[in-house]
Amino acid sequence: MTKNQALNTREISKIVFKKGELVKEVEELSGENLFGCYQCGTCSAGCPFVEDMDLLPDEVIRYVVLDRREVLNSKTIWLCASCYTCAERCPRDINITKIMEALRQIILRRKIDYTDVLKIPKKERETIPQLAFVSLFRKNIG
């Protein structure tokens, strides 16, 4: 993940947003109202991937609201595996799962892929179940 990360940082920095546009695009893609979040942290408390994340899920929301575009360089949005736990538990009924997807889509739709298929070793390609590949490609390749 670290190798891809470096590549992304460079390309992602080229994505231009005018002030306030990031949150607008995330809201449009996700259909969620990010301003409804009162930062209780329930989403982060239950997320199974927080140990490896650089931003907590509730921080991701705050970053977007505050127009801090470095959120797009965050490892968190790629570590989110759409397990829907946060969306199930949010007391404000905000679907964070969809917000994470929107952030990935903002990058992927600008033709920046997160995963390089050719780097997946042949042996892995033969042993890992197909559904893992299809979901990885759907999540990390535009």
Partner 1 sequence: MQKRILYYPGCTLKTTAKNLEKTAYAIMQALGYELVEMHDWNCCGVVASLTTDDLMHHLAPLRNLIHVEDQGEDKVVVLCDMCCNTLKQTNLRVKENPDDLKTLNAFMDRENDYKGTVKVYHFLEFLRDEIGFDVIKKMVKKPLHDMRIMPYYGCMLLRPREVAIDDAEDPQILSDLLTILGAEVIDNPFKIECCGSYHTIEEKQLVSRRAYRITSYAVERGADAIMLSCPLCHFNLDVRGKEAEKLFKGYKQIPIYYYTQLISVALGLDPSVYGFDQHMVDPTLLLKKKGVLHTRKIEI
Smallest gap, in angstroms, from Cβ of residue 83 to ligand SF4?
3
Query: Least distance to partner 1 from the beta carbon of 88, Å?
Result: 5
Buried b (16+ CB within 10 A) or exposed e, 16-52: eeeeeebbebbbebbebebeebeeeebbbeebeeeee
Residues between 20 and 39 that touch ligand SF4 (CB under 6 A):
37-39
**Binding residues vs partner 1 (CB under 8 A):** 1, 28-31, 48-49, 52, 79, 81-85, 87-88, 97-98, 101-102, 105, 115, 120, 124, 127-136, 138-139
Taking a C-beta distance cutoff of 8 angstroms, is the pair 106, 26 a contact? Answer: yes
Please state the closest distance from residue 100 (CB atom) to ligand SF4, in A: 5
Residue 65: both structure tokens together? 């609201």
Is residue 80 within 8 Å of 97, Cβ to Cβ?
A: yes
Binding residues for ligand SF4, rule: CB under 6 A, are 37-43, 46-47, 49, 57-58, 61, 80-86, 90-92, 94, 96-97, 100
